[in-house]
A and B are shown apart, each in its own frame.
Chain A
Amino acid sequence: MEKNEILNQVLSVFHDVLDNEDIVLTYETTANDIEEWDSLSHIQLVVAIEKKFKLRFTSKEIQSWKNVGEMLDCIKEKVA
């Protein structure tokens, strides 16, 4: 799966979990850029992404992500 396709699917998760269709994601986006992305919604996002892509992250992987692009790289590796 291409990274841009993953980005689109992750974006739909963000819209759904954060109840905001106006959110735009780029590879450089971080939690600081999205008001609704707090520590609790972060858990909901991770759970929803794990469900959507039928994969599991480790807590180490999650902590290593500096932005959305790194999260997408991690997903891409797992779904390859």
Chain B
Amino acid sequence: MSFKAGDIYNLPFTVTNERYNGFIELFNDKNPLHTNDEFAVGHGFKGRVMHGNILNGFLSYFIGECLPTKNVIIHSQEIQFKNPVYLNDELQFKATILDVYESVNTVEFKYEFRNVETKVVAKGKIQIGILK
């Protein structure tokens, strides 16, 4: 298995207008927190807050496209949202392999997304299987 505990992966991601609009078009979540600046500011945010689940799309891309093998499947993932993400925020993604369970071809990652202020906006864990 070409994975070992401690391996680190870094990737940049941006919540572009295209991704934001595409998410709304696909899933129809037009909650005012995500679509109305005035509403969001009224609740203490700097502006429209991006859907946290856009970050799950980045996680999908990371697992599906950025690992040493394409023979992967996600078993489970969890995410905690720590700070808001705004339109066009540039995020730095870092994933670290926590452990490798060779007996069942399984790899566990922890990950975090940080914004340009280096604040963690989201973090969590993902467990994947390596397909035979």
Contact = CB atoms under 8 A, between A and B. Distances in A.
B103 A58 contact: yes
Interface stretch (A18-26, A28-36, A44-52): A44-52
A21 B106 CA distance: 26
Contacts of B102: 56, 58-59
Nearest to B101: A47
Contacts of B76: 44
A44 B75 CA distance: 9
Given A43-B129, A47-B127, A59 B75 contact: no
A56 B75 contact: no
A53 interface: no
A47 B76 CA distance: 12
Nearest to B103: A57
B110 to A, nearest CB: 14
A55 to B, nearest CB: 10
Contacts of A57: 103
A44 B104 CA distance: 9
A57 B108 CA distance: 16
Contact of A61 (B75, B103, B105, B127): B103
Interface in B14-62: none
Interface of A: 40, 42-44, 46-47, 50, 56-59, 61-62
15 contacts: A42-B104, A43-B104, A43-B129, A46-B103, A46-B104, A47-B101, A47-B104, A50-B101, A56-B101, A56-B102, A56-B103, A57-B103, A58-B102, A59-B104, A61-B103
